[in-house]
Structure 1
Amino acid sequence: MWYAIVPQHKFEGQDPFEYDGEYIGTGPYKVKEFVPDDYLLLERNDDYWGADDSYWGLPAAKEVLFKLYENTGQFWVAFEAGQMDSSASFSVPFQKKDGYEADPNITVDVVPDLSIYWLAFNLHPTAGYEPLQDLALRQAIAAAIDKEGIVDMVFGGYAEPADSWVYLESPNHYGGPNNYGVLPNNEYDLDKAAQILEDAGYTKDDDGYWCLPAE
């Protein structure tokens, strides 16, 4: 989350989502042209306070264009056509990896990701999810999640099943000053999940759906 300090006399009484006046900045670039939902064109600010700084100085590029795309399809078409120099978020879908690696004009690097995906249960007593208060139900759900299948189908094999809510590359995954520990390995086992539910009093209806235990 980023915040900006703005002059009160410019924005007072204005709807920030509808404002279409002058845009003020103090960085090495200033707004030259802005078309909402299309693009933002910046030009070098030759009056930048750091222009004479021996370390910062003025940027080499006189203009920078930020282009907005309606969808990822348009984004990748523009990339493949060489219409962009950089992207703020640039993660190649695994479906495109082999094709890009075969392109002499594209270099693909496979690096560790700091993201982790997990399923969380809201167990607050006022949340309204009373069935999830049952440990047996949560254990059955854990046993019914095919993590290896998700890795293969969703990530094309370019991932690892998580064994902690701390990502694998973190020094706190297996140790470090804040060792959060490794969770038990809940292997995918539908028979085990069914047995857990049966032992806890759950039954199946005529359509094969599990029903809560009768109170």
Structure 2
Amino acid sequence: MKKNIRFTVLCIVFALLSACSNSGDTTKIEKVKSTMTVAYEVDTSSFDPILSTSGGDHVIQWPIYESLINFDANLNPKPGLAKSWEIVNEKKITMKLEENVVFHDGTPFNAQVVKENIERMNSKDSLNHDIRTIDQVVAVDEYTVDFLLKVPDVSILMALADRGGMMTSPKVFNNKEKGLSENPVGTGPFKFKSRVPNAEVVYEKNKEYWGADKAKVEQLIIKVMADENARMNALRSGEIDFMSGVAPSNIHAMKKNNNLKVEGDTTLNFKMLYINNSFDIVKNKDIRLAILYAIDRQQLVKVVNFGQGEPASQVVPSSHWAYIDDFTISFNVEKSKELIVQSGILAPKLEINHYTRAFETRLAEVLKTQLETAGFTVKLNGMETISAVNGFFKEKNAPIFLSEWTGRTDVQMPIKSLFSRDSFFNTGASASDRLEALIERGSKTFDEKKRKEIYKAIYEQGFLKEAIFIPIMAPTISVAFHKNVIGYEPNITGKVLFSKLGFKDEK
């Protein structure tokens, strides 16, 4: 009898130990399946859309915030928080809003909230100028809003699909002690949980999400990893599930790994030199034009980008509808030398800030060689990403910044943002009256053929006569992820919607 009791007790203990062991394994499996960990190159400059200055901010903001308009892979407008809209005339748009939507803090979404957000986006405190053509927002009723424009604006609808139309909780942005920069609150499929600057952002599933694209995982973690080798090693080891920013030199090696998928294409992203011509050296137009012609874009694509991508002479790639076939910026080192002589500046010295990431460092070094061949002396300053962005655009601490334009939802947006003297990104506030008039014409023109004619005239004036900024090349943007990851939807912006990622059901 005692033996039976002892045997029964041992069986129970064994069963409990087995249960604990199995429970631990299940928890581990569940953790893998319920947490999506991705690696991204840079942290956000700000979680507040009106203070956000980096094009890379979108991917970190999108899980939390939603815009009034959404877009498909080819940048066609789709319903977002606005379920429908009507272009009443050139200067009036009426939107019908989704009902029964609440912010993560419980604040109801309605027309009054839209009005407050748009007015805040266009306030003097905002660094975003994309929707400045909106003169007035009228809350017609609880879920209907009218946008009254100062002038016709061809890009306004898609500008409302960008940061300009991101909806945030008024309860938070009116809180002077802890605003959106520290406590981002939107209506999106994920809620903000925590952030360690330049390390990671943690999001948790919004269980009350109103839309159809509900989160596929309980938790999303975006790890900030500037170093590509660190991202690749983390992906191979299983520390992360998805990485952005695969350099062309590493694509072949990543594709050889049977556990990974690699996808990429040319997007709206292009590398460029921002110029602040309030600095004496680049105030001289001949110096700016000499830089423009000294760059061998084809060589940069071949040497730095391993033949992937294409030279950039416009603000869109050759696959885009607005690309102009008969406009290009030629490489002409002799003309560059002549322009240096014409400038009257002997042995001109250029100082260029750039990111310390491997790709940008290599690009900067080859670019330096090309410019010095034309007769410039070049000093390169490698900087951490956010410091470089804030330094050039806010502190205005350098004449030239080797960076990129990450693409926007309508071609008129980069045209205005990069060329116009009133733009945050034109730090020297330089543009001729003729160029400003062309930009305004582009804004008011809706016919695509006529728009292309205007954009060609803008390129001829803005690049070949004024060299407001210098386009360099449009590289291929590639990502890599484990084969059990689902939900990746490439789009022409090259920016990943991390909120749509999930895992295959392996049952």
**Counterparts in 2 of 1:130-141, with a 5 A limit?**
132-135=283-286, 137-141=287-291
Q: In the alignment, residue 219 of structure 2 is paired with which amino acid?
A: V
| Corresponding position: 1:142 with 2:292 | yes
Q: In the alignment, residue 327 of structure 2 is paired with which amino acid?
A: V
The SS at the match of 2:233 is helix
Take 1:192 and 1:24, find their aligned partners in 2: how far apart are those partners? 53
Aligned residues: CA RMSD: 3.9
| Corresponding position: 1:182 with 2:327 | yes
Gaps of 5+ in 2: 1-162, 349-374, 377-507
- Shift of residue 173 of structure 1? 0.7
8 A contact 1:118–1:165 mirrored in 2: no
Identity %: 17
- Shift of residue 122 of structure 1? 5.1
**Counterparts in 2 of 1:58-207, with a 5 A limit?**
59-61=215-217, 63-72=218-227, 73-86=229-242, 90-119=244-273, 121=275, 127-129=278-280, 132-135=283-286, 137-174=287-324, 182-183=327-328, 185-189=329-333, 191-198=334-341, 203=346
8 A contact 2:297–2:311 mirrored in 1: yes
Aligned residue pairs total 184
Of Structure 1 and Structure 2, which has the larger fraction of its residues in helix?
2
The SS at the match of 2:250 is helix
| Corresponding position: 1:16 with 2:16 | no
Take 1:24 and 1:122, find their aligned partners in 2: how far apart are those partners? 35
| Corresponding position: 1:40 with 2:188 | no
The SS at the match of 1:107 is strand
Gaps of 5+ in 1: 176-180, 211-215
Q: Deviations over 1:132-176 (max 9, x none)?
A: 4444x343322221212322333222121123233222101127x
Change over 3 Å in CA distance of 1:11–1:167 after alignment to 2: same
Q: Deviations over 1:63-106 (max 9, x none)?
A: 1231423533443322222333345xx23111211111211122
Change over 3 Å in CA distance of 1:14–1:97 after alignment to 2: same
The SS at the match of 1:68 is strand
| Corresponding position: 1:7 with 2:163 | no
The SS at the match of 1:56 is coil
Take 1:59 and 1:131, find their aligned partners in 2: how far apart are those partners? 49
Change over 3 Å in CA distance of 1:113–1:119 after alignment to 2: same
The SS at the match of 2:271 is coil
8 A contact 1:151–1:157 mirrored in 2: yes
Q: Which runs of 4+ in 1 moved over 4 A?
A: 17-20, 23-31, 57-60, 120-123, 199-205
8 A contact 2:200–2:222 mirrored in 1: yes
8 A contact 2:168–2:187 mirrored in 1: no
Change over 3 Å in CA distance of 1:131–1:77 after alignment to 2: closer
8 A contact 1:147–1:188 mirrored in 2: no
Change over 3 Å in CA distance of 1:29–1:109 after alignment to 2: closer
8 A contact 2:298–2:311 mirrored in 1: yes
The SS at the match of 2:298 is helix
Take 2:222 and 2:282, find their aligned partners in 1: how far apart are those partners? 47
Change over 3 Å in CA distance of 1:130–1:103 after alignment to 2: closer
- Equivalence for 2:366: none
The SS at the match of 2:219 is strand
Take 2:181 and 2:327, find their aligned partners in 1: how far apart are those partners? 48
Q: In the alignment, residue 16 of structure 1 is paired with which amino acid?
A: G
Change over 3 Å in CA distance of 1:202–1:99 after alignment to 2: same
Of Structure 1 and Structure 2, which has the larger fraction of its residues in strand?
2
Q: In the alignment, residue 336 of structure 2 is paired with which amino acid?
A: A
Change over 3 Å in CA distance of 1:44–1:166 after alignment to 2: closer
